[in-house]
Amino acid sequence: GAAGTAGTLALLLGEGSKRLPQAIIIGVKKGGTRALLEFLRVHPDVRAVGAEPHFFDRNYERGLAWYRDLMPRTLEGQITMEKTPSYFVTKEAPARISSMSKGTKLIVVVRDPVTRAISDYTQTLSKKPDIPTFESLTFKNRTTGLIDTSWSAIQIGIYAKHLENWLLYFPIGQILFVSGERMISDPAGELGRVQDFLGLKRIITDKHFYFNKTKGFPCLKKAEGSSKPHCLGKTKGRTHPDIDQEVVQRLRDFYRPFNMKFYQMTGQDFGWD
């Protein structure tokens, strides 16, 4: 209608204003945050920053005006969003986001911590081919089987521990937990939950997705602002190295109690065990 056209025109003329984000994807690294953001950007009422601003962890001294200036212009009723997956594990982030706005909606994309760790390692390996093996980084001491929880690849997956920090500042109802696995098996279903949480009309449905067998990922039939189909870039869906099954089992056992605690805290069973 005319209002829609006027709105489009206003954006083309550089109108609309930059607003601080009302919703932030705060985690987790290698969980599926890029896919979620790309899927969400299909929604006409979502406007998001493409790059990760890293404001609440690395750039906080630059101030809120700097942060706001990074945001896209929005019209009344549109939601401004950003994603920086490292926020979830940053000690200072909850207080900082809360002091920007107590009402900020937070989204955490979580994934089986063991596959998440392997994916994290795979990403590092692609940049630094000479790093030690996954197995040697996992243990403080291979003989005693003591797991090195200080290694970030393992640390990040202790979701319950990080979540406790956020719950000091935000009620659990203000945090949505998205399953990285379900985002692959049922993208429309997970996106439905996200749209509801953000108070958006359910515009993104299964009509928007097709499953790419080569990638093993759902892709968009039409990307934001384009008529072409769009899959995530070539750095997504890397082949993981084969990890010693005994090490994988040790990690499963290590994470199990933390996973159970996380299921209790969130009221959701993610089915990782």
Binding site members: 30-34, 111, 119, 236-240
Based on DSSP, count helices (H) and strands (E) in the chain, helices before strands: 11, 11
Among residues 18, 29, 30, 83, the one annotated as catalytic is 30
Phi-psi region of 52 (alpha: psi -120 to 50; beta: other; left: phi over 0): beta
Is 30 catalytic? The answer is: yes
Binding residues for 3'-phosphoadenylyl sulfate: 30-34, 111, 119, 236-240
CA dist., res. 75 & res. 257, Å (int): 45
Q: How far apart are CA 203 and CA 188, in angstroms?
A: 10
**Residue 265 contacts residue 163 (beta carbons within 8 Å):** yes
Query: What are the E-state strand segments in 6-76?
Result: 17-18, 23-27, 46-48, 73-74
Kindly tell me the sign of the dihedral angle through the C-alpha atoms of 232, 235, 238, 240. Answer: negative
- CA–CA dist 164, 242 (Å, integer): 33
What residues are annotated to the active site? 30
